[in-house]
């Protein structure tokens, strides 16, 4: 990657660096003068927030507080950029609750603009979902509550204001929401000490201008803004000091439009243990896992004492995209470097299996629906806040055909449910997408078939959304809504 000596020295002197001999750089300059940041800053770990348990009407309620607010953040050391965060200047705390618990999230909007807080991947009543109808004005508040009723998983929360989601997420509004099961569940032997061997990793491309500020370019490309720098937990050039033999990374692609194909620079193999909605049936050995925007993967990697290894995003496989290296393909990015200590604490071996997942709903008894994704429309329609596209019965089995007819990628996310991918162009899905999912890629000219049960909560008034999670597409109306009513 070309970089002028002056730019290198400028960036180098601005940062506190644990420099390897030939420092990799996190800002990958194209034609613009993007400030490059050498690897060296310690990976920040978002604070773990278990909330406080309050009793309401004799029932314990785990209560969290989130205050979206504006601030500034230095992606490039010494260069402040406008930002947004929950309870701070960037990103938000990692919320954590267990299956069966009742939770409440008290939200206080301290931004100068309206926002919502959506709980992505959560199986909850539509009224608590935080979609585009749940706007909170500046100075306003909301307090959605529900009972956690799904397997352990890495979920996330982010704003969903119709038309400005890309901007608000891009400025920094995003956080993780971890769900746990009982102590002796099948995942109990996985690394689980938060911030030590169980590491949250929010990965986002950022388009930084020459002064280190976040820029948007929704018209520049059919995918919207594609960044030139990769932030891990908000930091370019981050290094994770590892102290254990095995490290679990909970990776979230929180980018607006970029696909990542995560692997290690030395091509070592690792195990993927969970997808969007929970554990896979068994640890899956891979050398790379591809994630479209909003997808998650939990992986466990083994380290040798004293080594350094780079988590890299390799050029993603974008199928029949045309031209082949367009739309964010053809690029490698370094994401975060893992520096193993000279001696590593032993970790439990991975279990051989976690347990079979239930069979997906039977397509023969399910309601079948088709959705064609084209341009910024689904089935020829643009999102209309006043239009409900269909109504389904609580808990009803559904099978959806989701088609992308464009020569570039989309993806699809459904609110309030976890689904299973039945097939892609009639063939079984790759094993990394065979478990619980709430978001799947839709590569060019691919027909995906998904199956799930509708949420069990009836509410004729509040809708759930389904949409492309490329945030520019979503903002431009590539979204529909349904209600669940008996
Ligand atoms: Cu991640 Cu409709 O959202
Ligand atoms: Cu969602
Ligand atoms: Cu799209």
Average pLDDT, integer, range 127-136: 98
Is 50 exceeded by the pLDDT of residue 6? no
How far is 82 from 72, CA to CA, in rounded Å?
Answer: 5
Ligand 1 contact via 118 beta carbon (within 6 Å): yes
pLDDT given at position 434:
98
pLDDT given at position 33:
62
Q: In this structure, which residue's CA is closest to atom 1 in ligand 1?
A: 120
Ligand 1 contact via 473 beta carbon (within 6 Å): no
pLDDT given at position 218:
67
User: How far, in Å, is the centroid of ligand 1 from the Cα of 470?
Assistant: 10
Is 80 exceeded by the pLDDT of residue 14? no
How far is 61 from 47, CA to CA, in rounded Å?
Answer: 21
pLDDT given at position 23:
40
User: How far, in Å, is the centroid of ligand 3 from the Cα of 76?
Assistant: 30
Band of the pLDDT at 20, cuts 50, 70, 90?
very low
How far is 236 from 75, CA to CA, in rounded Å?
Answer: 6
Average pLDDT, integer, range 324-332: 83
Ligand 1 contact via 415 beta carbon (within 6 Å): yes
Between 320 and 89, the higher pLDDT residue: 89
Average pLDDT, integer, range 333-342: 98
Q: Which helix (H) or strand (E) holds 169?
A: helix 165-171
Question: Tokens 């690897």 identify what position?
Answer: 39
Average pLDDT, integer, range 138-147: 98
User: Domain segments of the chain: what residues?
Assistant: 5-28+38-180, 198-345, 367-484
Express as a percent the part of the chain with pLDDT over 70. 92
Answer yes or no: CATH 2.60.40.420 is held by domain 198-345.
yes
pLDDT given at position 15:
36
CATH no. of 367-484:
2.60.40.420
Ligand 1 contact via 296 beta carbon (within 6 Å): no
pLDDT given at position 202:
99
Average pLDDT, integer, range 275-304: 98
How far is 386 from 383, CA to CA, in rounded Å?
Answer: 9
- Coil, strand, or helix at residue 113? coil
pLDDT given at position 10:
36
pLDDT given at position 224:
85
User: What does pTM read for this prediction?
Assistant: 0.93
Express as a percent the part of the chain with pLDDT over 90. 86
Between 176 and 220, the higher pLDDT residue: 176
Beta strand pairing status for 118-120 and 94-98? unpaired
Q: Which atom of ligand 1 is nearest to the CA of 439?
A: 1
pLDDT given at position 46:
98
Ligand 1 contact via 467 beta carbon (within 6 Å): yes
Domains 5-28+38-180 and 367-484 alike in fold: yes
Band of the pLDDT at 220, cuts 50, 70, 90?
low
Q: Are the C-beta atoms of 303 and 245 separated by less than 8 Å? A: yes
Is 80 exceeded by the pLDDT of residue 474? yes
Query: Could you check whether the bond before residue 323 is cis, i.e. omega within 30 degrees of 0?
Result: yes
Q: Which residues does residue 156 pair with via DSSP β-bridges, in sequence order?
A: 120, 176
The pLDDT tens digits for 441-467 are 999 999 999 999 999 999 999 999 999
Ligand 1 contact via 294 beta carbon (within 6 Å): yes
User: How far, in Å, is the centroid of ligand 3 from the Cα of 163?
Assistant: 14
For residue 438, the ligand closest to its alpha carbon is: 2
Between 34 and 372, the higher pLDDT residue: 372
Average pLDDT, integer, range 262-273: 98
Average pLDDT, integer, range 245-268: 98
pLDDT given at position 26:
53
431: DSSP letter: G
Ligand 1 contact via 413 beta carbon (within 6 Å): yes
| CB neighbourhood size of 434 (10 A) | 18
pLDDT given at position 196:
98
User: How far, in Å, is the centroid of ligand 1 from the Cα of 165?
Assistant: 9
Structural domain 5-28+38-180, CATH architecture: Sandwich (2.60)
Average pLDDT, integer, range 111-131: 98
């Amino acid at each position: 990657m070309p970089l002028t000596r002056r730019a290198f020295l400028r960036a180098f002197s601005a940062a506190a660096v644990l420099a390897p001999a030939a420092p990799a750089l996190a800002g990958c300059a194209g034609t613009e003068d993007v400030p490059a940041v050498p690897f060296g800053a310690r990976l920040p770990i978002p604070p773990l927030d278990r909330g406080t348990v309050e009793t309401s009407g004799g029932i314990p309620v785990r209560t969290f507080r989130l205050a979206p607010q504006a601030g500034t953040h230095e992606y490039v050391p010494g260069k402040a950029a406008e930002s947004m965060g929950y309870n701070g200047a960037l990103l938000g705390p990692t919320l954590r609750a267990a299956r069966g618990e009742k939770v409440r999230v008290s939200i206080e909007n301290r931004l100068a603009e309206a926002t919502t807080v959506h709980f992505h991947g959560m199986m909850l009543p539509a009224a608590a979902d935080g979609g585009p109808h749940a706007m909170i004005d500046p100075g306003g508040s909301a307090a959605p509550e529900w009972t956690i009723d799904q397997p352990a998983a890495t979920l996330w929360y982010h704003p969903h204001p119709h038309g400005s989601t890309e901007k608000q997420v891009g400025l920094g509004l995003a956080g993780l929401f971890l769900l746990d099961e009982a102590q002796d569940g099948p995942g109990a032997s996985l690394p689980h000490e938060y911030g030590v061997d169980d590491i949250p990793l929010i990965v986002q491309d950022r388009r930084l201008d020459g002064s280190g500020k976040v820029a948007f370019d929704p018209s520049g490309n059919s995918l919207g803004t594609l960044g030139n720098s990769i932030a891990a937990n908000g930091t370019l050039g981050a290094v994770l000091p590892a102290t254990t033999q095995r490290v679990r990374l909970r990776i979230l692609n929180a980018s607006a439009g970029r696909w990542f194909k995560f692997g290690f620079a030395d091509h070592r193999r690792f195990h993927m243990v969970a997808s969007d909605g929970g554990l896979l049936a068994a640890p899956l050995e891979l050398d790379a896992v591809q994630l479209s925007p909003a997808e998650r993967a939990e992986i466990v990697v083994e380290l040798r004492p004293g080594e350094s290894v780079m988590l890299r995003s390799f050029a993603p496989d974008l199928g029949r995209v045309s031209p082949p290296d367009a739309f964010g393909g053809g690029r490698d990015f370094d994401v975060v470097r893992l520096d193993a200590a000279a001696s590593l604490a032993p970790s439990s071996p991975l279990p051989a299996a976690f347990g079979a997942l239930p069979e997906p709903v039977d397509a023969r008894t399910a309601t079948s629906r088709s959705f064609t994704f084209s341009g910024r429309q689904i089935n020829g329609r643009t999102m209309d806040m006043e239009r409900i596209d269909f109504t389904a019965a609580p808990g009803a089995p559904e099978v959806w055909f989701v088609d992308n007819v464009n020569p570039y990628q989309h993806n699809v996310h459904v609110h309030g449910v976890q689904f299973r991918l039945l097939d892609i162009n009639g063939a079984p899905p790759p094993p990394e997408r065979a478990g619980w999912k709430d978001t799947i890629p839709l590569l060019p000219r691919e027909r995906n078939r998904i199956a799930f049960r509708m949420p069990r909560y009836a509410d004729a008034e509040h809708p759930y959304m389904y949409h492309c999670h490329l945030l520019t597409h979503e903002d431009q109306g590539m979204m529909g809504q349904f209600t669940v009513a008996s």
